[in-house]
Structures are given as structure tokens and as C-alpha cells.
Amino acid sequence: MSEQNAQKHSFQAEVAQLLHLVTHSLYSNPEIFLRELISNASDACDKLRFEGINHPEYYENDPNLHVRVSIDKEHKTLTISDNGIGLSQQEAIDNLGTIAKSGTKDFMSKLTGDQKSDAQLIGQFGVGFYSGFIAADKITVESRRAGLAESEGVRWISGGTGEFEVEQITKASRGTDIILHLRDDALGYLEAYKVKQIINKYSDHISLPIEMQKEVWQEEEVAEGEEPQGGQYVKTDEWEAINSASALWTRNKNEVTEEQYIEFYKNLSHDFEAPLAWAHNRVEGSTEYTQLLYIPSKAPSNIFTREAKAGIKLYVKRVFIMDDADNLIPNYLRFVQGVVDSADLPLNVSRELLQESRDVKTIREGNARRILNLLDGLAKSEDEAEQEKFKTFYAEFGSVLKEGLGEDQGNRERILKLLRFASSVNDDVTTSLADYKARMKEGQKAIYYVTADSLNAAKNSPQLELFKKKGIEVLLMSDRVDEWAMEFVNEFDGLVMQNVAKGAVDLGDLQDAEEKKALEEAAEQFKPVVEKLSEALKAKTKEVRVTTRLVDSPACLVTGEGELSPQLVRMLKQAGQPVPESKPILEINPEHPLVQKLAGAEQFDDLANVIFDQALIAEGGLPEDPTAYIKRINSLLLK
């Protein structure tokens, strides 16, 4: 089609910004562009395999899928071709002119200008095509989607600036050719040996052949009496595979090197960092499948958003079925990347069928066990490097793992063993529940913990005062998920898990008879004050009572057994969830001068409300009426 029929389009604003970063050497390792483009070509062939199940005519007369890399030194171009699914004209506009992912703005907002971290983001958001502009000052894409007529091909051209051009062309073969017009500083990629080295390094595991034109040594014909100048390598019309062309997960794990595992992960996940650990197994039994599962070294930026999906690729008998098969891994392990290849699922399996399949449930449970075993091995290892890996994992994914307490009852105990918490004994070093149990005081019959909105709030909670006085360790839980997750935990290893901010304080054998008698006497002595407080604060409190849990503070708020804590109430309200009405219990310290002053206070109601509001602030809340609180404080100060 003539040039006049070409249409010009502007890049999406985020793409234009991205291209600017790429062309200014965003990628710390420039040869990565070849890995990204070959990976995309392989994905296109996988998609044809999948669509070809129901549409065998898509294969036309070309059933052998492959990726081809060709070099043209004369025109300074490097071309990556595939005979996969291809693109229609509209798909070229949509996929190559925009970042075709939800959360694009979120992606751009996280770009920092830091070369290493931004490169990782680009991989996570699946925009590796644009890496071609690392080496090229112009990219031409020629493609035809399988199933369309030869006349419905498309040519897409861009110099990596603000615009791209699209025109309809005739293309005899289906699939895509990406033609990189190399910059002068990237002409080294015209050397066949260098291209082969890069492909062998990054893409050897690709499960279909990556081909280059075979080169043969041609001897120079020398006329009689002339000196030979030496022969040369010349390309033939024959194509040869330069990779092993076997899916890495199908190999025996004893035959796969650590470097190959790492490179496969990087290709699979578009992550520039090596994974922390991986598990590769063939599972046999009622359900047969192969799993190759990786734990990344860094959490993706969208790990807590609705867009976050599990990074498991599903294959059936080596045929690619789908990306992000979230039914194959529990949601609390959604950070896991990898491949599952099933021998039992049908090739036409759909997402709907995955939800109902018993085989899928078996695979999901098997994957969960494998990852938890892997983490347990890191946590228990005596090797310092393995221990550091677990610490890195927990810093990145500990909050996500805790979600499993509510989602996976069958593995709850195993998850609990992996959790780590700061404590009132040492808030700089985290501890496991097993280590906490080993340090418990004689006669202690519960594991005590407190939840709060921050570590400082937990550490300074009035609820801890009696425990600190008696030298009883309390776990400090300050992740947003803690309050919700601990609702599903009643005990650990035979010990009750006790939130010190819920219910009346009961230290059992750790509280002597004298303390219990003192509480009874104080309750009797302060009965008139308690009754008056109950009346003054009846709109705010469920109950007012005397306590021995406080040492330095005048009062604290306590949640009744079986009721939602203030932290969880605040979290649900922020999420727009309905929250049942409930009031806290106010506990007062009879030894505190401010409480003792209550008995004869002229401004009893003001002082009562100030004590309540201060208790609310101490546990991370805010007074319902801050202005009224300030007025009461000022009034009392003036008195």
C-alpha cells in the first residue's frame, strides 16, 4: 500500500515518557533487549499453539513454530521474526502504542530515575518491546495475524519519539518481523557470534528453535599466479537452531545449572534480579504435573493492589495455555513466579473450568506445600547465606504470607512457624513463635501479643505496662494485616494466643494473690467514681472498670472478647466496609494521680472525657470531636 495511506498516531503519554527513559540507557545491561524480544516472539508462538487447538486452520501451511534472528550488515538491521499468532492493524495500534496493562499511571508514578529499580519496574509491567530502542533509533514491525488474509498485514514504524506510523500491507506469511535499525553505537549486534552468545546466555531454554542462517566457510578461488587473500564465512539459505530448544522444566533438574535456572526466571518474570530460591519437581500420583516455582527477591510494586495476579504460567503437555493462572497458587502466595505443566488437564481448559477442577485443587495444594517447605528450609538452615535469604523474603513478603492465616486453614500451623515479630524484649530483632515459647517465664500459659498501627504505637502501648513490670515478653504486631489475620489464630503449639488489649487481664499463675486482692479492694474503693464515669461516658463506652494492667498511664481502652478491635474497625472503615456498632471498655488505673483526682473534681465530665480521649489517642485513634477535646484541655489547664 502506498505511503499516502499510512496513518500517524501519537504515543500514549506514559509510553512517550518510557521511551525517553529507555533511549537514555535505562537498562543497565543493554543486550537484554534481545532477550526481551525473543521472549515476546516465543509468547506469540505459544499463543498460536493455544488458539490453534480450536482453529487448526491458523497454522496455514506452516506448522513448525520457530523464532528466527537475521542480520543485514548492508542495511544495519537486526530482525527478530516469528511465525506465531501475529497482530492485526488494530492490535498493533493498541499493543505497540500504549502500555496495555491496567495500573499504567501507577507504573509511571513509581519511576524514580534510578536505573536499576526502574528497569525492574519495566519488566514487571510487561513492556519489554520498547527495550528495542536501547539499540535502535528506528523500529519497523511487520505482522499479520493468523486467520487474516495476506492483504491484511500491518506495518508499524517509529523512531521512538512522540509518534508512530501504521499502514496496511500485504504479507504472505503469518507472524511478526521486528526490524531494528541499529544506532551507530550498537553495530556490534551485527556480528553473528555476538548474537549467538547472547541467545545462548539468555534464551537457551526457550522451548522452540531459535534459528539463524547457517554460515559456511567458503574457500577463495585463486587464479594461477595470484596470492590467496583468504576465504570467508557466507550465509546460506539453510536455517539452524542455535539453542537447545527444550523446555527447561521438562529436563532432569540434575542437568540444569544454577545459572540456567536464574536466566529462565529472569526471562519468565522480566525481573532483572536473581530469584531468592526455587523448587523444581515432577509430581506423580493421581494428578501428574511438573512444577518449577520461584520466590523473587523483591516484591512487585502492585503486590497489594487488585491488579496483582499470580505469576504462574500454565502448560498442558508442554502446550502453553495461559499466563497468570491464579487458580494454581493460593492468593497469599501470589508473589510466586513459575511454570506448571499438567499431564491431566484438557488442552481447551478455561479459567472457569480451572475453578471447578479437582486436578487444579490438587496442584494448588501441592504448590503451596512446596513453597512453604522451601521457606521452612531457608528459615531453619544453619547456612548464613540461606538465613539472609529468608530475612530478605520476610522483609518483602511477610505481610502477604500472613494472609494465609485466614485463607489456608490446612497450612495455618506451618505458616505460623514461618512468621516473625518484634517483641517488647527486643523490637530491633524479630522472633519466631517457637523461640518466644522457649523463652517464656515459668508458669506462663499463653503467648501474649498486642496489635497497633505502628511499631512505636505497639511498643509504647499502655497495655504493656504490667507485662513490662513483671518481665513478661509481649509480641508487637504492627502490620495492617495483623489484626485481621490473628482473628483466625487461637493457639500455637498448645498455647493460647492472647491479645493483651482484649478482655480483662489475666496472668494466671504469674499474678499473685496480693495483686488480685488489691484489685478487689480498689474496685470497691473506686466504685462511686466508676459509676459516675460510666454515666458521664455512657455514649462512648460499654463499661468502665478498675484494672491492675496499668502502671504509668491513667487509663486504657480494651476490646471485649469476640468484638472487633479499634484498629480493625478503622481498617474496615477505610476500605468502605460496613462495621457493626461497638463500644470499648475503659479501664482506669487507681494508682494514678489523675484518676485519684476524679473523686473530688469540679469539672468531672470534662476530666472524664479527656481521660477517655487520651486513652483513645494512645492506641492510635482520634477523638470524635477534636475541637471539644482541645477546649476541655485548655479549660482544665486554666484551672
Binding residue positions for ATP: 36, 40, 82, 95, 101-103, 124-129, 176, 351
> How many Cα atoms are found within 13 Å in the side-chain-facing hemisphere of 141?
31
The residues pairing with 586 across neighbouring beta strands, listed in sequence order, are: 544, 557
CA distance 116 to 318: 34
**77-82: strand order across its sheet:** 7-10, 163-169, 153-158, 136-144, 175-182, 77-82, 67-72, 210-218, 232-241
| β-bridge pairing 175-182 and 77-82 | antiparallel
CA distance 64 to 47: 14
Q: Residue 168 has which C-alpha cell? A: 496496511
Please, what is the Cα angle at 479 between 475 and 481, to 5 degrees?
110
| β-bridge pairing 7-10 and 163-169 | antiparallel
Query: Would you call 303 helix, strand, or coil by DSSP?
Result: coil
CA distance 542 to 536: 12
CA distance 594 to 241: 84
Give binding residues as ranges. Answer: 36, 40, 82, 95, 101-103, 124-129, 176, 351
Q: Residue 424 has which C-alpha cell? A: 517488647
Return the closest-CA partner of residue 312 out of 370, 254, 238, 255.
370
State the DSSP string of 22-83: HHTT-SSSTTHHHHHHHHHHHHHHHHHHHHHHH-GGGGTT--S--EEEEEETTTTEEEEEE-
CA distance 501 to 586: 11
CA distance 377 to 393: 13
CA distances to 197, 483, 559 from 406, in Å: 48, 11, 21
The Cβ of residue 554 has, within 10 Å, a number of other Cβ atoms equal to 23
The label of the residue with cell 489475620 reads 485
For residues 156-169, one letter each, b for 16 or more C-beta atoms within 10 angstroms of the residue's C-beta and e for the rest, the string is: bbbbbeeebebbeb
The residues pairing with 496 across neighbouring beta strands, listed in sequence order, are: 446, 491
Residues in the chain: 639
The label of the residue with cell 548492508 reads 74
How far is C-alpha 201 from the geometric centre of its chain's CA atoms?
A: 27
Compute the Cα dihedral for 550, 553, 555, 561 and give only its sign: negative
Largest CA distance in the chain: 126
CA distance 23 to 26: 7
Contact indicator for 364, 293 with CB cutoff of 8 Å: no
